[in-house]
Amino acid sequence: MKILIVPDSFKGSLSSIQAADAIEEGIKDLHFEIEKIPIADGGEGTVDCLISANHGTKMRDFVIDPIGRKIQTEFGILKDSKTAIIEMALASGLLLIPIRKRNPLYTTTYGTGELIRKVIERGYTKVILGLGGSATTDCGAGALQALGVKLLDENGINIKLGGLYLKDLQRVDISTLNKYKNIELTFLHDVSNKLLGVNGAANIYSQQKGASKKEVQILEDNLAHFAQIVKRDTGINITEFDGSGAAGGLAAGLSIMFNSHIVSGSDFVINATDLRTKIQNADVIIIGEGELNSQTKFGKIPYKIAEIAKEYKKIVIGIFGSTTKDTIEEYKSAFTYISTLCEKGISKEKAMQNAYSLLSGKVKEIFKELQLN
């Protein structure tokens, strides 16, 4: 029997590589043929996933994080020597800052813009930008400013960093940015939400990033104002394309200055890793991620993998950090078996602290229950 292990990260607990190792640990004594592919869909682990699939290399540089601290971050370079891979989560991600300081009114994508600028200055003409895991809802304003865009208030001064200050924008000036016209930027989105509305960046995701319910409406209004001024001054409507709400609107903002296109991070990674073929050749597919929820079906890679595996009538096991009974019911047709680490009195906090051992134990239990030996 051949087992294909394809976990995403368990956010805040395990990287996709660590999750794959934990799952393997649980079944290695059964002597199956095992293949591990740590996976990502534009969020955490995207750099590792793509450089592994394409025999690339990892490099480092310094940027500012979402609250303005200088940090060292990583990016990937592919073998073609033209393409750089950036995870915005590694420059402007939620996990970079302590919980008490998380608030998208004040967090910024400036560091992501810095990193894009630096790889372009190194001579790379193609940039793949993963959008998952953001701490921000600033419509990419900080990134635009790091790249030289002038976002001016009524006094002709650049607006402050953070979603709160989008309301101060009165004029957008991109007149000096011809140097970026030949740069190809590919956004990998992990969700397909648009920028505005009940399913938009502010309403769906900003509370997860530290905003109160009252602040959600402030951010929604500010995003709408920002988009209106951008359309007036550049002629570009940044609100309507699928994925414009990903990463707090980062792709929406950056789309005004680059030759860019946005694609499903899941589909991109599935193609880059030849995952469909690997699924065809396996008997059991084991998927994992930090949470199974109502958003999983909107482009998240565990669901995409489960759909492909179902096409080929494979056994599909999904192990998640947390979920609910209603959610398990919602997704039961996509998986042969769904399980969670948060059960039998195990809290989310305990599960996060002991994720490796719990994940190893869980997969061992499941294989015994399903009599896969």
| In CATH, 46-266 is 3.40.50.1370 | no
At 363 the pLDDT is: 96
**Domain edges within the chain:** 2-39+274-369, 46-266
Report the top-level CATH class of 2-39+274-369: alpha beta
- Same fold across 2-39+274-369 and 46-266: no
Are 30 and 373 in contact, with CB atoms under 8 Å apart? yes
pLDDT of amino acid 136: 98
Going from the first residue of the chain to its last (373 residues), give the mean pLDDT of each consecutive group of 10, the final group possibly shorter: 94 90 94 92 89 91 98 95 95 94 98 97 96 96 97 98 98 86 92 93 96 97 98 95 95 94 93 95 95 83 93 96 90 93 89 94 94 83
Q: What's the pLDDT at 46?
A: 92
Query: Which residues face 314 on adjacent strands?
Result: none
Q: What is the pLDDT of residue 38?
A: 87
Q: In what order do the strands lie in the sheet with 259-264?
A: 57-64, 70-77, 83-87, 126-130, 184-189, 259-264
CB burial class (10 A; 0-12, 13-18, 19+) of residue 72? exposed
Write a three-state SS string for the chain.
CEEEECCCCECCCECHHHHHHHHHHHHHHHCCEEEECCCCCCCCCHHHHHHHHCCCEEEEEEEECCCCCEEEEEEEECCCCCEEEEECHHHHEHHHCCHHHCCCCCCCCHHHHHHHHHHHHCCCCEEEEECCCECCCCCCHHHHHHCCCEEECCCCCECCCCHHHHHHCCEEECCCCHHHCCCEEEEEECCCCCCCCCCCHHHHHHHHHCCCHHHHHHHHHHHHHHHHHHHHHHCCCCCCCCCCCHHHHHHHHHCCCCEEEEEEHHHHHHHHCCHHHHHHCCCEEEEEEEECCCCCCCCCHHHHHHHHHHHCCCEEEEEEEECCHHHHHHHCCCCCEEEECCCCCCCHHHHHHCHHHHHHHHHHHHHHHCCCC
Burial of 179 (0-12, 13-18, 19+ CB in 10 A): exposed
**CB-CB neighbours of 118 under 10 Å:** 18
Give pTM, 2 decimals: 0.89
Whether residue 185 contacts residue 258, with contact meaning beta carbons closer than 8 Å, is answered with: yes
CA-CA distance, 140 to 110, in Å (whole number)?
8
